[in-house]
Amino acid sequence: MCYFFNLKAGLHGFFQKESRRRRVIQADCEMGEKEEEYFEEMPTETLARLYVRQGFPEKGLSIYRKLRLMDPANRELEKTLEDLERQLTGGTGQGGGKTDERALKTLENWLSAIQDKKGRLKMKESEQNRVLVIHGPNLNMLGKREKDIYGTATLDQINAELVAAGEEMGLSVETFQSNHEGDIVDRIQAALEGCRGIIINPAAYTHTSIAIRDALLLLDIPVIEVHLSNIYKREPFRHKSMTSAVVTAQIAGLGKQGYLVALRAIAELIK
């Protein structure tokens, strides 16, 4: 029992120190995977000492060995390692190979509980950062349609790239395509419910739709208008955008990259 509380107190201090340290070192690091790597791969003297103190010298030893590989010139580390190796082979010191399976299990459970919790926090964070991408008429035909102007990527491919890039940025990307003006208006109105940003390529409606323009005026979030082609280099009727004056920014002529640039911009704007 006493042993367990010792372990608990030791771990509590350790996690407090380590989390402070990690906040400094990995201030702009994403949670989740990177931290899993951290736990599994980042050997520290604190962790090694903790294992030894709590009666898991073999685990401590293996961490000290990794540390020595990383810093072979460190004399102090070398000495600690030699002492520990001597203790273990000589059967003296901190309990040798005597391992309390229950306490070790507790340690492992705590690590996995912390990782779970972080995973959940990350998910919540991205759910809160919903970004909607709206594609207007005929964009469902990308990949088939005027490839010299719009490129060869299909809409599904573009959407998949956006969803993946969004995950990297902590954004949950939803995509929507419609050939119908009213449906696009409905979707913009629905974005009033918790959406943090919109990327919209109104396609041909860019040049005609007062309804889409009016719907966008309802929103108080970053809205970026994207066009695959540079509409200003094309036919005069494409030079006029009904929506450009009511959006945060317009990107035209970067092909599918334009959407990714817009997503990055939204991630920055809503930080």
Q: Does 229 bind ligand DQA (CB under 6 A)?
A: yes
Is 99 in contact with 56 (CB distance < 8 Å)?
yes
By beta-carbon proximity to ligand DQA, the closer residue of 12 and 239 is 239
Indicate the SS3 state at residue 91.
coil
The answer for residues whose C-beta is within 8 angstroms of residue 107's C-beta and 6 or more apart is: 7, 11, 54
Compute how many residues bind ligand DQA; rule: CB under 6 A: 10
By beta-carbon proximity to ligand DQA, the closer residue of 129 and 209 is 209
Indicate the SS3 state at residue 94.
coil
What is the spatial distance between Cα 145 and Cα 203, in angstroms, rounded to a whole number?
13
Q: Does 175 bind ligand DQA (CB under 6 A)?
A: no
By beta-carbon proximity to ligand DQA, the closer residue of 59 and 227 is 227
Could you tell me how far CA 197 lies from the centroid of its own chain?
Answer: 17
Binding mask 76-115 for ligand DQA (x = CB under 6 A): ----------------------------------------
Q: Which of residues 248-267 bind ligand DQA (CB under 6 A)?
A: none
232 is catalytic: no
Catalytic residue, from 51, 64, 150, 259: name it.
150
Is 218 in contact with 192 (CB distance < 8 Å)?
yes
Q: Does 206 bind ligand DQA (CB under 6 A)?
A: yes
* Six-digit token string for 207: 């040049």
Q: Does 238 bind ligand DQA (CB under 6 A)?
A: yes
227 is catalytic: yes
DSSP β-bridge partners for residue 177:
135
The span of 52-60, 99-107, 203-211, 216-224 binding ligand DQA (CB under 6 A) equals 203-211
What is the spatial distance between Cα 48 and Cα 59, in angstroms, rounded to a whole number?
7
Annotated catalytic residues are 150, 227
